[in-house]
Amino acid sequence: MATKASIFRTIAHSRKTCRRFQPGRIIPQATLQDILQSTIRSPSSFNLQPSQIILVQSQPVKDDLSEHAMIGIGNQYRTRQASAVAVFLSDLEPSKRINKVYQLEKEHRHPNYRATMPLATSFLIGEGHAATLIKGIATQFLSAVQPMPDVEPVLSWSYKNTSLLAQSFVYAAESHDLATAMMEGFDPRRVKEILRIPDRYAVPLVVATGYEYEEESETEPTPRLNISEVVFEDTFGREWKHSNDESASS
């Protein structure tokens, strides 16, 4: 117990954005396999798993991304020199997954859950602007009477699920002493063109993964807001009574 907690603490506190990777190194396949197996265990709404990952290891494809799609010299270098570039995709038509997940879940779930899943997912996801608008009005009206789910835009809903996966990937990589850099500085249209990604998907994040260049390994972690500024107790704005001043320096 103590071991698990202290080791996760080490992973969480030592993870940082890698500024420079050692070029030309290959991540062992067993390591990648282990990272991906942990990654796909991340939770998702209704277990719909609306995310895919493209793992770019081929140098010409990395060079192509670096030269034509990445923004900023730092991201261009990282993309070229990282051992693997994990491109995270968010499905914008997640209702197309319902049947597949339903089959997968058949053995696992209570019949009541399975009976309500298609209904619940079609209500919550709200693909399509007209449907969203109509449901939005109904929801706002009914919310005064009974609790109603919000109609989230599918992009936000899908990003949310994919980010859970991306954070899992980063911790799994860190647990193998690999360095990572989550990047948002890229042109998604160009990423989609180079990697032949269908329109159905958005690209919220790209994670460069590899071995940190040794001279960089001494950089300090970036600062964070104090825990008292981030965490409230019971209601908004009320300071968490057990917070202290250690967070800024730890």
Find the shortest distance in angstroms from Cβ 24 to a copy of itself.
17
Place of tokens 């360095």: 179
Do 92 and 201 contact (CB within 8 A), yes or no?
yes
Q: Quick one: 24 or 245, whose CB is closer to a copy of itself?
A: 245
CB of 106 to a copy of itself, least distance (A): 9
CA dihedral for 50, 157, 183, 165, sign (positive or negative)? negative
User: 24 or 224, CB closer to a copy of itself?
Assistant: 224
- CB-nearer residue toward a copy of itself: 57 or 131: 57
Nearer to a copy of itself, 6 or 24 (CB): 6
Task: Kindly state the DSSP code that residue 212 receives in the 8-state scheme.
Answer: B
Cα–Cα distance, 74 to 77 (Å, whole number): 5
Q: How far apart are CA 12 and CA 48, in angstroms?
A: 27
Round to whole Å and give the CA distance between 18 and 81. Answer: 11
For the bound state, the minimum distance from the C-beta of residue 141 to a copy of itself, rounded and expressed in Å, comes to: 11
Q: What value, to the nearest 5°, has the Cα angle with vertex 60 and ends 59 and 63? A: 85
Alpha-carbon distance 40 to 141, whole Å?
Answer: 38
For the four alpha carbons of 157, 159, 161 and 164, in that order, the dihedral sign comes to negative
Task: Quote the tokens at residue 164.
Answer: 């859970």
Nearer Cβ to a copy of itself (130/234):
234
Tell the smallest beta-carbon distance from residue 151 to a copy of itself (Å): 10
Task: Kindly state the smallest distance separating residue 130's Cβ from a copy of itself, in Å.
Answer: 18
Amino acid at 51: S
Q: Which two tokens stand for residue 17?
A: 């954005």
- Closer CB to a copy of itself, residue 11 or residue 131? 11
